[in-house]
Structure 1
Amino acid sequence: MLLNNRYRVLRTLGSGGFGETFLAEDTQMPSQRRCLIKQLKPIQDNPQVYELVQQRFQREAAILEDLGDGSSQIPRLYAYFSQNGQFYLVQEYIEGQTLTARVQQQGLLSESSVKEILTSILPVIEFVHSKGIVHRDIKPENILIRHRDGQPVLIDFGAVKETVGTVMSPSGNSTKSIVIGTPGYMPSEQSVGRPMFASDIYSLGLTAIYLLSGKSPQELGTDPATGAVLWRQYALSVTPSFAAVLEKAIQFSTHDRFASAREMLQALQTGTGPVAPTVPGFAPTVPYIHSQVPTAPPNPIPQHTVSVSSAQSSQSSSQSSRSSSWFDGTFVGSLLAAIGVTVAIGTGVFVVFNWQQSQQQVKQPSAQQTQSSIQPSAELTEEPQESVPTQQTLVPETTPSPEVSDPLSASVDKPSPEQAIQNYYSTINRGDYQTSWNQLSPTYQNNQRLHPNGYLSYIDWWGGQVDSVELEQVSLVEAGTETATVNAQLRYFMKTGRVVPSSVRFFLFWDAQNNKWVVADTR
């Protein structure tokens, strides 16, 4: 078959509701170069519609030409024409493999490979957005890895498809008859015909998750309360910092996603995503007052544990407990003089000491219930459970276990404060850090000393250093209509193999709007 008396069709590459795609060769070029031809069929056979589609098709073709000329990672447009009531685009033929095909043939991609793809494709998306264009159909099938240089190439823009989907309403007005995008990969605002730049960010985030997990969006669970995509259990090896970047990209609300492709790229390159004020799904409207940390560690000596580890490298992490045996032998050598030692407490908050004590001083227990087994030599400051850039911190992780849900939580009766703490740690153990983060009050979340990088700091602790946490005992100290105090006996099972006992006192506040207890403070 010869199209436009010039392009000889070699084979059909695909077909769909919009038309067909062919591999062809240009008979009027000395090299007879190969090209990709997309045949687009107007969905309504109407002379008025045809004329309107033709005008829009010309405009969209000019945009594709501009994009292809401006980026080597977008196919160039060679020509466009209409023939027998159908429209054709002639584009550069990219020899490569779609991301879908790569996963199917080679298996899941490593985190470093996915980061490399994102780092290369995000500048392309930023360029597209700078032209005022939303791609609208980013997915694994529409990103090719070019054989000759291994670079990702963005293909199959959605605007032209929308053009041929134009129909005429009974009133004589032209209207869009279809929503461009792929179910699952397109966010809610796009599904109702309101695509934004942030829509492409969402689609790219889910594309990355597919590469890491092998799961399409339809195979992933969704939190019915928040719309959050639940994917972490399918990609457990992903580092907390990278997971935080992907989580931000796929937030339900456009305001909670990255503001631009450039911002997402910066988060990838620096390894620290922007601070997320809250994770979608929980935003208590009742104000909370965050109390200051006491000048000495609270809970009884036998219940408190000091742990030290590097947030940057688990190999350099070291821990200290109330037991003197932790400081014997080679473990003592792992403690560096005059470093900040962090006490891991239940909510993932750290109490940092300027460590100046000798081994014997460390072993000295305190008789007072409000003091830790280790005497601080300087003032006590509160630090994040997740990650403290300037401090070394040991982090426990949680063993996946189903969240304990209170059957009365949706009823008029309040769930017990003890049950709220059980739910908190069960949620952490199953790796649902968004939900557990949202059980902290906004004031507690936004405390820069505790969470200097917001949610990213939180998951750096729970997802990066803690393997699991066991709630040995939980007891109610006091409870009122709006507040409650709960004591919890914990054991952290660290990724380093250590088991760290701890005792934490929770100060809870009742959030009537969401019918749940939230953590206002801990000691």
Structure 2
Amino acid sequence: MPSPGRSAPSGAVPGPGPSADSRVSPAGKAQQPLQEQNRLGSLLGRGGFGSVWAATRISDRAPVAIKRVPLNRIQHWGKLPNGTSAPLEIVLLHKVSTGFPGVVQLLEWMELPSDIIITMERPEWCQDLQHFIRARGFLSEEVARELFRQVLEAVRHCTSCGVLHRDIKPENILVDLATGQAKLIDFGCGTYLQDTAYTRFAGTPSYSPPEWNNCGWYYGQPATIWSLGILLHQMVCGEHPFRRGHRISWDHQLSLPPRLSQECQDVIRWCLSIHDVDRPSVEDLFCHPWMQDIHLP
């Protein structure tokens, strides 16, 4: 594992296949500094991980997102298939960036003396799901169902690749306003999927499952389902079901608005079962009557 402060040559991953935006070509090894290949635009977000900027690739004017992460904030490293050491976020992105449209595509990355720079696809007209919901107050069940189905498909894809996202929330889902495509973004809290319990938490505390808060452990897939229950509640109700920082009691009662169909309420309550063994699997959710109302093209 490299020390965070060392200087290293640039690295790039093999191409993930065509992006959902046909103007964004597959990844290739960076032949020049990424900042010289792109025209930087507005700041999209900033947090403990670093910062993300909108940018335009100079060669073909394709919209991209550029994430800058200070090396001293990267805690976990892994290896790419070609043996290159890389931050775990990049290793995980490489595993899931296979042309699947529901996960943001990794285009290329570079290690600088003090930062990691990651270039990813960016739909030209997009909005994160948090802002998408806020602009509407809450989403109709029809709209929520279609977006929720896409997030479930992204989770199933990540699981099949052996990846656990660990930070599913509206801010980490990008909605392409032109096509309605939802994309799971930000694998900075992600890890390898394992069958045994996790004893370290990564993600957003208000989305952590009760078994973590009460027992200090969680299993990957039931914890994901818990966060999906919160996500669906936010979509159809416009707010988080639990007060920030509130410890959920073992006998909690979830109050849902009567305007919601019984099937939708059932999905939310099932996902938010206090005991992790009572929660559905992703496949259980796909088979639920509420999900069966999806209009297939």
TM-score by length of 1: 0.43
The answer to whether the Cα contact below 8 Å between 1:3 and 1:9 also exists between their aligned partners in 2 is no
Query: In structure 1, how many angstroms separate the alpha carbons of the residues matched to 2:219 and 2:70?
Result: 23
Aligned to 2:7: none
TM-score by length of 2: 0.72
Contact 1:222 1:229 in 2 (8 A): no
Q: Secondary structure at the match of 2:151?
A: helix
- What does residue 244 of structure 1 align with? 266
Q: CA deviation at 1:256?
A: 0.8
Q: Are residue 65 (structure 1) and residue 94 (structure 2) matched?
A: yes
**8 Å contact from structure 2 (residues 144, 235) kept in 1:** yes
Please name the residue that 1:462 is paired with: none
Residue number in structure 2 paired with 1:183: 205
CA distance in 2, matches of 1:197, 1:16: 26
Kept after mapping to 2: 8 A contact 1:74/1:153 = yes
User: Among residues 150, 158, 162, which one is paired with 2:188 in the alignment?
Assistant: 158
* Post-superposition offset of 1:209: 0.5
Question: Helix, strand or coil for the counterpart of 1:89?
Answer: strand
- Residue 27 of structure 2 corresponds to which residue in structure 1? none
Equivalent of residue 253 in structure 1, options 267, 275, 279: 275
In the aligned structure 1, how far is the partner of 2:117 from the partner of 2:130?
26
Cα distance change, pair 5–229 in 1 and its aligned pair in 2 (3 A): farther
Tell me which of 196, 214, 222 is aligned to 1:198.
Answer: 222
Contact 1:8/1:25 (CA < 8 Å) preserved in 2?
A: yes
Q: Tell me how far 1:92 sits from its aligned partner.
A: 0.3
In the alignment, structure 1 segments of 5+ residues that lack a partner are 164-175, 272-523
Matches within 5 A, 1:279-428: none
Give the deviation of 1:3 after TM superposition. Answer: 4.1
- Correspondence 1:224 to 2:254: no
Total equivalences in the alignment? 248
Greater relative contact order (Cα < 8 A, sep 6+):
2
2:138 aligns with 108
Q: Deviations along 1:344-383, whole A, 9 cap, x unmatched?
A: xxxxxxxxxxxxxxxxxxxxxxxxxxxxxxxxxxxxxxxx
Question: Hey, what's the Cα distance between the residues in 2 that align with 1:53 and 1:130?
Answer: 19
1:25 corresponds in structure 2 to 56
Structure 1 counterpart of 2:37: 6
The 3 A distance-change label for structure 1 pair 105 and 44 is closer
Amino acid at match of 1:231: S
1:134 and 2:134 matched: no
Distance 1:60 1:238, change over 3 A: same
> Are residues 53 and 64 of structure 1, via their aligned partners in 2, closer, same or farther at CA, if it must alter by over 3 Å?
closer
| 2:284 equivalent among 263, 275, 285 | 263
Give the whole-Å Cα distance in 2 for the aligned partners of 1:152 and 1:44. 28
> In 1, Cα distance between the equivalents of 2:242 and 2:85?
33
How far has the Cα of 1:217 moved from its partner? 3.8
Tell me, yes or no, if the aligned pair for 2:89 and 2:187 is still in contact at 8 Å.
Answer: no
The structure whose Rg is larger is: 1
Moved more, 215-224 or 78-87: 215-224
Q: CA shift at 1:157, angstroms?
A: 1.9
| Code of the aligned partner of 1:101 | H
- Are 1:15 and 2:15 an aligned pair? no
Q: Distance in 2 between matches of 1:69 and 1:215?
A: 33
Rounded Cα–Cα distance in structure 2 between residues aligned with 1:230 and 1:40 = 38
Tell me: CA distance 1:215–1:35, structure 2 relative to 1, closer, same or farther (3 Å). Answer: same
Matched, 1:91 2:120: yes
2:111 corresponds to 1:82: yes
Q: Report the Cα distance in structure 2 between the residues aligned to 1:150 and 1:44, rounded to whole angstroms.
A: 34
Cα contact 1:137–1:186 (8 A) shared by 2: no
Change (3 A) 1:73 1:225: closer
Q: Is the 8 A contact 1:35 1:90 kept in 2?
A: yes
Quickly say closer, same or farther: Cα 1:53–1:148, change in 2 above 3 A: same
SS for the counterpart of 1:79 is strand
- Sequence identity percentage: 24
TM-superposed CA distance for 1:59, in Å, is 5.2
CA contact (8 A) 1:189 1:195 kept: no
| 1-structure distance, mates of 2:144, 2:88 | 34
Q: Which residue of 2 aligns with 1:211?
A: 235
1:428 maps to: none
Q: Closer, same or farther in 2 for the Cα pair 1:53/1:132, shift >3 Å?
A: closer
Task: Please tell me whether the aligned partners of residues 40 and 56 of structure 2 are also in contact (alpha carbons under 8 angstroms).
Answer: yes
| 2-structure distance, mates of 1:270, 1:13 | 35
Contact 1:223 1:230 in 2 (8 A): no
1:144 corresponds to 2:174:
yes
One-letter identity of the residue aligned with 2:53 = F
RMSD: 3.2
Match of 2:65 among 31, 36, 41: 36
CA deviations on 1:282-309 (whole Å, 9 max, x unpaired) are: xxxxxxxxxxxxxxxxxxxxxxxxxxxx
Distance 1:264 1:40, change over 3 A: same
Q: For the residues of structure 2 that align with 1:201 and 1:18, how far apart are their CA atoms?
A: 24
Asked if the contact 1:136/1:195 (under 8 Å) is kept, the reply is: no
